[in-house]
Structure 1
Amino acid sequence: MKLTERQQEVLETLRDIGRDNAVRHRGRTPYLYQRDCEKLLKGDEACVFGLGGLTWQVGGRLGLGASSVLSTFKTLESKGLIIRETRNPRYQRPLYWWPVGMAEALAEELMPSVEVTP
């Protein structure tokens, strides 16, 4: 699938944020790290809230405005490359975003002997 340079940058930054969030407690707070690993094992839907990236985080890392990042997120979502948080229907807009397939990839990297739920 062909992506624009901005779409690729946003997607890669979202992956970096997800990876950072998944390992942020490793070595410091084993209980919280274990909970994050359990989310990874449950798949992408379980990871969006809490491990996913926020619009302002991606914008801050790339020097883009939130509206620009949000429109790019929506385009990537329509292409099936990212999913958004939908847990709380009261939100006007989604807060967290997560790359599709990343839970499995991170689980294989962090816990190679454990099977992941697709």
Structure 2
Amino acid sequence: MKLTDKQQDILDELRKIGRENAYRYRGVTPCLHQNDCEKLARGDQACVFGLGGLTYQVGGRLNINPGAVLSAFKALQRKGLVLCEESYPDYQRARYWWPTGLAAELSTELLPAGEVAP
């Protein structure tokens, strides 16, 4: 699938944020890390809220205007590459974003073989 350089950078940064968030409490606060691993086992949609990246967070890391990041996220969503938070349907914009397929990738890294999500 063809992506612009900006879209690819934003998607890559979102993947980094998701990975960092999934590993955040490992070895420091095991119960919080276990909660995050349970989200990974349930799949991408379960990971969006809490483990996903925020529009302004991605923009700040890449020095891109949050409005441009939001526009790129919407384009990536139409291509099926990211999911947005849907916990608050009346909220004007999605707050968290998550790369499609990252939960399965991280679950193979963080969960015992018997607990990997399908």
TM-score range, shorter chain: over 0.9
* Structure 1: distance between partners of 2:5 and 2:59: 15
Equivalence for 2:35: 35
Match of 1:73 in 2: 73
Which amino acid letter does the alignment assign opposite residue 17 of structure 1? I
Asked if the contact 1:108–1:114 (Cα under 8 Å) also holds between the matched residues in 2, the reply is: no
The aligned residue for residue 3 of structure 2 is: 3
User: Normalising to structure 1: TM-score of the pair?
Assistant: 0.96
Percent identity for Structure 1 against Structure 2: 60
Instruction: State how far apart, in whole Å, the 2-side matches of 1:65 and 1:34 are.
Output: 34
CA shift, 1:117, in A, is 3.4
1:43-72 residue CA offsets vs partner (Å, 9 max, x unmatched)? 000000000000011001100010000000
Alignment of 1:1-118 (within 5 A): 1-118=1-118
Give the RMSD, CA atoms, in angstroms. 1.0
How many Å apart are 1:112 and its aligned residue?
A: 4.7
Letter in 2 for 1:39: K
Mark the runs of 5 or more structure 2 residues left unpaired by the alignment.
none
Please tell me whether the aligned partners of residues 25 and 33 of structure 1 are also in contact (alpha carbons under 8 angstroms).
Answer: yes
Shift of 1:110: 1.4
Count, aligned residues: 118
Runs of 4+ in structure 1 deviating by more than 2 angstroms, as ranges, are 114-118
Q: Name the SS of the counterpart of 1:38 in structure 2.
A: helix
